[in-house]
Amino acid sequence: MKKFYLTHILWIYYSSKGISKEILEIIHLGTELEDIVSLMSEKLFESLSEIEYESIAQLEQRKAYKFRNKVNESIN
> For the whole model, what pTM was predicted?
0.68
pLDDT of residue 74: 65
Question: What is the distance between the alpha carbons of residues 51 and 47, in angstroms, rounded to a whole number?
Answer: 6
Mean pLDDT by 10 residues, the chain (76 residues): 62 85 87 90 94 91 71 63
pLDDT of residue 1: 45
pLDDT of residue 50: 94
pLDDT of residue 6: 54
pLDDT of residue 48: 95
Phi, psi of 17 (to 5 degrees): -90, 5
What Å distances lie between residue 33 and 17, 25, 68, CA to CA? 25, 13, 35
pLDDT of residue 71: 58
pLDDT of residue 9: 81
